[in-house]
Amino acid sequence: MTATRMELVFSEVAETVATIAGVPMDQIVGETELIRDLNLDSLAMYEIVIDLEEAFDLRISDSDLDKIRTVNDAVHYILAASPAE
């Protein structure tokens, strides 16, 4: 896994989260908690899930979503679910 790929995934996740949460992208860091820090409800969480599924061509089940608490959790989930070609 290269740092570049991790950065790319982080950037996409951060942009998606910032857009849905309606906050500037520089407010999003790896430790940002989606529900607690950004006050996201389940509709907003699903918006993020659907946009990330589309961006990375993967499927995120509800049980996997329950384990994603922070931005970093989402980044690591995506890296594990869609390894670099």
Partner 1 sequence: MNEFDQTINDLLLDIFDKILVTEEKALRRGNFSDISVAEMHALESIGPYDRRTMSETAAMLGVTTGTLTVAIDRLVRKGYVERHRDPNDRRVVRVALTRKGKLAFRMHNKFHKLLVDRLVGPLDPSGREILLKTLHQIDLIVKEQYERYVLSDGTEDEP
Catalytic positions: 41
If one counts every other C-beta atom within 10 angstroms of the C-beta of residue 62, the result is: 10
What is the rounded (10 degree) CA torsion for 36, 41, 42, 44?
-110
Specify the amino acid at residue 15. Answer: E
C-alpha 61/C-alpha 84 separation (Å) is 21
- Any contact of residue 40 with partner 1 (CB under 8 A)? no
- Any contact of residue 56 with partner 1 (CB under 8 A)? no
- Any contact of residue 62 with partner 1 (CB under 8 A)? yes
Report the residue number, 6 or 81, with the smaller CB distance to partner 1: 81
Report the residue number, 46 or 56, with the smaller CB distance to partner 1: 46
- Any contact of residue 46 with partner 1 (CB under 8 A)? yes
* SS3 of residue 42 by DSSP: helix
**CB 54 → partner 1: shortest distance, Å?**
8
C-alpha 43/C-alpha 41 separation (Å) is 5
Residues that bind partner 1 in the complex, under the rule CB under 8 A: 42-43, 46-47, 49-51, 54, 59, 62
